[in-house]
Amino acid sequence: MKNNRKLDKVKGTIKEGTGKIIGSEQLELEGKLQKKRGELSEAASELGESLKEKASEKVNELIDKLDKKEK
């Protein structure tokens, strides 16, 4: 999955550059969109990881508190 995001960014950059060189607005746009898709997917993945880490931290804290009350 991570490779797909990077691949989209690279392929998008290549398409965008090629579109500019050959004067194809459509290819340039496709490249820009593909590159943005990769960037947004990467950002969403990073956000998801951050949220999982925060949730894990809170659950661990709660379990620790419950363990202390039981003793």
Q: How far apart are CA 65 and CA 1, in angstroms?
A: 37
Which residue range(s) make up the domain with 15?
Answer: 2-70
Q: How many domains does the chain have?
A: 1
| CA atoms within 13 Å, Cβ hemisphere of 24 | 13
Task: Tell me which DSSP letter residue 23 carries.
Answer: T
pLDDT of residue 68: 86
Residue bearing tokens 């398409």: 15
Residue bearing tokens 């590159």: 35
Residue pLDDT, tens place only, 5-38? 899 999 999 999 999 999 999 999 999 999 999 9
pLDDT of residue 47: 93
Average pLDDT on 44-51 reads 92
Banded model confidence at residue 50, pLDDT cuts 50, 70, 90: very high
pLDDT of residue 4: 87
